């Protein structure tokens, strides 16, 4: 899952980004609509976290205009404006959820996950491929009933492979959905994570490399 945070308070933006990254999401950041529009043009996002009041004005009007232009990405509006009139205005502008400051980052992460599931591909609560079971809500993976300890990035890559099974998933797709714009697409970050996953998943091998195409899951008992 990939998220864009549009927040002009650097401290708040950093805190939200850190919480989301710790939960395994890929996160890009923007301080205003100019930078947000650039990111939205070149990247596909599962959710947009939007501060209500930015240096370039009230985001409600900006969001409404982009909804009229066809922007469909789910939006969580993050704001200090919390009375009934402000909330209604946010929803009328096109927000899908509304969180008031101050907030609990744990709750924010769960709300973002819910919006990502709503706007993107359907993500079942439990994914199964062979003897591997992934509980996407609890963030747990088991193979043959044994709990595996995965890093957030390992979890994200395995989740993408299981969602796309039996199709091949390219390195570019994995970079697009599991990393943020700071990742170097020419680096070997994907290969490193896949190698770590293979080691933790054990035998029989579950992940196959398709030369020149990417990775796919193998059919195993």
CATH number at residue 66: 3.40.50.2300
CATH code of the domain containing 166: 1.10.10.10
Q: Would the pLDDT of 14 be above 90?
A: yes
119, 151, 170 - which closes a domain: 119
Q: What SS3 state is found at 184? A: coil
Of 97, 119, 141, which closes a domain? 119
Mark whether 6 and 114 lie in a shared domain: yes
Residues above pLDDT 70, as percent of the chain: 93
Q: What is the mean pLDDT of residues 205-220?
A: 89
The number of folded domains in the chain is: 2
> Of 87, 119, 151, which one is at a domain's C-terminal end?
119
pLDDT tens by residue, 116-148:
877 555 556 788 999 999 987 778 999 999 999
Domain that holds residue 140: 126-217
Max CA distance (Å), the chain: 58
Whether residue 82 is found in the same domain as residue 134:
no
Predicted pLDDT at 184: 62
Q: Which residue in 126, 127, 110 sits closest to 47, CA to CA? A: 110
For residue 15, pLDDT beyond 60: yes
The lowest-confidence range among 6-10, 54-58, 175-179 is: 175-179
Q: What is the pLDDT of residues 156-198, one digit of tens each?
A: 899 989 988 989 999 888 887 887 766 665 568 899 999 999 9
pLDDT bucket at 212, cuts 50 / 70 / 90? confident
Who's near 175: CB < 8 A, 6+ residues apart?
A: 183, 185, 189, 190
Q: Are residues 64 and 169 in the same domain?
A: no
Residues 146 and 100 in one domain: no
**Residue pointed to by tokens 């929803």:** 91
- The reply to whether 31 and 14 lie within a common domain is yes
CB distance 45 to 180 below 8 Å: no
Tokens 């990247």 belong to which residue? 43
Asked whether residue 112 falls in the same domain as residue 10, the answer is: yes
Helix segments in 127-202, DSSP class H:
152-164, 171-178, 189-201
d(CA 1, CA 6): 17
The whole-number average pLDDT for the span 54-82 is 87
Q: Hey, which residues does 169 pair with through a beta bridge?
A: 215
Of 210, 119, 121, 110, which Cα lies nearest the Cα of 170?
A: 210
Residue 30: per-residue pLDDT? 93
Give the 3-state secondary structure of residue 117.
Answer: helix
């Amino acid at each position: 899952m990939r998220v864009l945070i549009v927040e002009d308070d650097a401290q708040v933006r950093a805190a939200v980004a850190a919480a989301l990254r710790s939960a395994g999401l890929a996160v890009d950041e923007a301080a205003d609509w100019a930078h947000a529009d650039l990111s939205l043009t070149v990247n596909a996002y599962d959710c947009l976290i939007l501060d209500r009041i930015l240096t370039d004005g009230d985001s409600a009007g900006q969001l409404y205009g982009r909804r009229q232009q066809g922007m469909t990405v789910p939006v969580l509006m993050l704001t200090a404006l919390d009375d009934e009139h402000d909330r209604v205005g946010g929803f009328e502008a096109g927000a899908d959820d509304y969180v008031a400051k101050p907030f609990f980052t744990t709750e924010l992460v769960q709300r973002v996950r819910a919006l990502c599931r709503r706007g993107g591909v359907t993500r079942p609560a439990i994914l199964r491929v062979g003897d591997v079971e992934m509980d996407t809500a609890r963030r747990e993976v088991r193979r043959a009933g044994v709990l595996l300890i995965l890093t957030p990035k390992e979890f994200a890559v395995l989740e993408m492979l299981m969602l796309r099974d039996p199709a091949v998933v390219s390195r570019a797709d994995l970079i697009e959905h599991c990393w943020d714009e700071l990742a170097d697409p020419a680096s070997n970050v994907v290969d490193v994570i896949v190698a770590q996953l293979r080691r933790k998943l054990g035998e029989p091998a579950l992940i196959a490399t398709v030369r020149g195409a990417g990775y796919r899951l193998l059919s195993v008992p």
